[in-house]
Amino acid sequence: MKSTPETLAIDGGEKTVQSTFPWPIYDESEVQAVAEVIRSGRWGNPDCGEAVAAFEQAFAAYCGTKYAVTCVNGSVSLRLALISCGVRPGDEVIVPPYTFIATASTVLEVNCVPVFVDIDPDTYNLDPKAIEAAITERTKVIIPVHFAGLACDMDAILDIAQRHNLRVIEDAAHAHGAEYRGRKLGSIGDVGSFSFQSSKNLTSGEGGIVVTNDESLYRMMASLRNVGRVEGHQWYDHFNPGCNYRITQMQAVLLSQQLNRLEEQTVLRNDNGLYLNELLADIDGTTPLSRGTEEIRHCYHLYIFKYDASAFGGLSRKDFVAQLAAEGVPCSMGYPHPLYKQPVFQNKNFMCYAIPETVDYTSVNCPAAERACSDEAVWIFQHAMLGTREDMRSFAEAIRKIQRVVSQS
């Protein structure tokens, strides 16, 4: 008897993945915590910011740092870190091109020059081997991005920074709870910067935080976050050119409740990522990104694998991702191009910022980042990584189903 051909979900067939993956995850504890703040009438910060201070202390303790300063978002947290690290107009800051725009645009906002250094093709993190060649006498900071929640090679990066007297700001916007050699990401460099935007592994809808062990950096970031005020002085004394970047009591209690869930969720994401790596290793045309060679815990803000169209009958990555999403796997192709190809850099739309006229991004080329954007990367979102082992098997089966169907067409 002739078998009935499979029908992809995108063409009206049954979805392979039947589970749904809600985000954010919450219960009455979050609702009650926010309701108590509302009923108290003490919503502001810093005039009644006890909940904000409590969350900062809890998050610093979780990361293993002495200090933490909350702020309105993860872009501002990078800005606070850069200014506190002492950058001046025209200084250069090394950043990867495969990351969200804020890693580079905040460098522009402090009147400095982003210098794009390519990523490691196996991990999609900043490639230490490429950093040293990009350092000049104007370089002041390296911003390694722990992309997707995978730790950068921090030993190599810190060695380079120490030899060249550079500051290291960890962009840990994806990396809540992830670890490198037993240390939480964000606690290893001079400053760690996190985002609490709605897609992040720890979220209050919006928000950010910086962590550090350096008291002088902490005091400056706290001042910049609070309109330039300095602790111990009068309310209307402003010592630094800061702004009101404070979060509210309601965000703080929400984050405190969410922090209670983070460790368990991180362990689950890491375990599911390891299992999905095993499953995809057996499928031609899908190559999970390397977890690096160091002792790490991955928090899988994104699970990323490389797609090879030749193993799928030449099916374009765009069509593959559309079909995978229709099968019920929350996924995307990620960034359409590296940051230096964004119009703000190509057209030098630097407006009021003091960027030297000689800066030109039209000839920048980072081959590994180009391939990731144009040909390779497939992202599975973090909330899907909170599923069961059966869900991970269904993700792999969805890929096999697509492969079978396209091979028969």
CATH number, domain at 330?
3.90.1150.10
Distance between CA atoms of residues 119 and 137, nearest Å? 22
Q: Are 55 and 176 a contacting pair, CB within 8 Å?
A: no
DSSP 118: P
Q: Which residues pair with 67 in a beta bridge?
A: 212
| pLDDT value of position 329 | 98
Which of 259, 277, 297 corresponds to the end of one domain?
259
Same domain, 253 and 329: no
* 192-224 residue pLDDT tens: 999 999 999 999 999 999 999 999 999 999 999
Known catalytic residues are: 200
Please calculate the CA angle 326-330-334 and round it to the nearest 5 degrees.
Answer: 105
Query: Among residues of the chain, what percentage have pLDDT more than 70?
Result: 99
* 47-73 residue pLDDT tens: 778 999 999 999 999 999 999 999 999
Say yes or no to pLDDT of 3 above 60.
Answer: no
Domain presence at residue 17 = no
CB contact set of 397 (below 8 Å; sequence gap of 6+): 16
Domain presence at residue 315 = yes
Distance between CA atoms of residues 135 and 139, nearest Å? 6
Which of 259, 292, 311 corresponds to the end of one domain?
259
Q: Residue 303's domain spans which residues?
A: 260-335+369-408
Question: Could you tell me the pLDDT band of residue 266, with boundaries at 50, 70 and 90?
Answer: very high
Q: Are 15 and 6 a contacting pair, CB within 8 Å?
A: no
The CB density around residue 160, as the number of other CB atoms within 10 Å, is 18
Same domain, 36 and 141: yes
Distance between CA atoms of residues 352 and 225, nearest Å? 22
Same domain, 159 and 274: no
Type and span of the H or E element at 140: strand 139-142
Same domain, 399 and 253: no
The rounded radius of gyration (Å) of the Cα atoms in the chain is 22
Q: Are 387 and 23 a contacting pair, CB within 8 Å?
A: no
Question: Could you tell me the pLDDT band of residue 2, with boundaries at 50, 70 and 90?
Answer: very low
Same domain, 58 and 134: yes
* 311-327 residue pLDDT tens: 999 999 999 999 999 99
Domain presence at residue 170 = yes
Domain presence at residue 360 = no
Same domain, 240 and 323: no
* 82-140 residue pLDDT tens: 999 999 999 999 999 999 999 999 999 999 999 999 999 999 999 999 999 999 999 99
- C-alpha of 62 from chain center: 18
Domain presence at residue 6 = no
Same domain, 244 and 277: no
Please calculate the CA angle 284-152-91 and round it to the nearest 5 degrees.
Answer: 130
Helix %, strand %, coil % for the chain, to 5? 40, 15, 45
Distance between CA atoms of residues 376 and 368, nearest Å? 10
Which of 259, 280, 307 corresponds to the end of one domain?
259
Question: Could you tell me the pLDDT band of residue 404, with boundaries at 50, 70 and 90?
Answer: very high
Q: Which residues pair with 194 in a beta bridge?
A: 209
User: How many independent structural domains does the chain possess?
Assistant: 2
* 130-189 residue pLDDT tens: 999 999 999 999 999 999 999 999 999 999 999 999 999 999 999 999 999 999 999 999
| Stretch 332-350: mean pLDDT | 97
Same domain, 164 and 266: no
Domain presence at residue 3 = no
Distance between CA atoms of residues 120 and 138, nearest Å? 24
Question: Could you tell me the pLDDT band of residue 4, with boundaries at 50, 70 and 90?
Answer: low
Structure token pair of residue 369? 């980042």
DSSP 374: I
| pLDDT value of position 255 | 98
| Domain of residue 249, CATH code | 3.40.640.10
Q: Are 405 and 6 a contacting pair, CB within 8 Å?
A: yes
| pLDDT value of position 1 | 36
Residue with tokens 């950093």: 131
Same domain, 59 and 175: yes
Same domain, 252 and 280: no
Domain presence at residue 43 = yes
Which is nearest to 49 in space by CA: 299, 353, 256, 261?
A: 256
Structure token pair of residue 153? 């090679």
Same domain, 224 and 75: yes
Say yes or no to pLDDT of 232 above 70.
Answer: yes
Please calculate the CA angle 43-45-49 and round it to the nearest 5 degrees.
Answer: 85
Same domain, 42 and 80: yes
Q: Are 107 and 138 a contacting pair, CB within 8 Å?
A: no
| Stretch 232-240: mean pLDDT | 94
Distance between CA atoms of residues 151 and 132, nearest Å? 19
Average pLDDT value over all residues in the chain: 96
- State the burial class of residue 68 (Cβ atoms within 10 Å of its Cβ: 0-12, 13-18, 19+): buried
| pLDDT value of position 380 | 98
| Stretch 285-290: mean pLDDT | 98
Type and span of the H or E element at 57: helix 50-63
| Stretch 289-301: mean pLDDT | 93
Structure token pair of residue 204? 């209050």
Q: Are 103 and 143 a contacting pair, CB within 8 Å?
A: yes
Q: Which residues pair with 183 in a beta bridge?
A: 180
Which is nearest to 26 in space by CA: 339, 254, 283?
A: 254
| pLDDT value of position 45 | 84
Structure token pair of residue 191? 């400053």
Could you give phi then psi for residue 176, rounded to 5 degrees?
Answer: -60, 120
Domain presence at residue 213 = yes
